[in-house]
Amino acid sequence: MRYTPKRHRKTPGRDRQQYPPCAYCCECGGEVYGEETVYLIDGRIVCHECLGDFAERYFASDALKGERLKRGGNTYETY
């Protein structure tokens, strides 16, 4: 029996192949169709499935350990 990988994105019960995709996700290359919610970030299209990974990289420069936080009024600063 051959293993067939699941397609990344699929809406069951609907043949979407008859409509051409509007665009492709810049992360996974998945097809983006008209009714789908995607994120346009710095001109790049990111689908919902890829948003988490993308955001982690996008905000990597803001990442820090909790132990480095100190309260500075209503916001936080780093030690």
Contact set with Zn ion (CB under 5 A): 25, 27-28, 30, 47, 50
Q: Which is nearer to Zn ion, 43 or 73 (CB)?
A: 43
The number of C-alpha atoms within 13 Å of 34 and in the hemisphere containing its C-beta is 5
The number of C-alpha atoms within 13 Å of 31 and in the hemisphere containing its C-beta is 14
Strand partners, 12: none
Q: Which is nearer to Zn ion, 27 or 36 (CB)?
A: 27
Q: Which is nearer to Zn ion, 23 or 28 (CB)?
A: 28
CA distance 39 to 58: 13
Task: Please state the closest distance from residue 48 (CB atom) to Zn ion, in A.
Answer: 8
Task: Please state the closest distance from residue 65 (CB atom) to Zn ion, in A.
Answer: 29
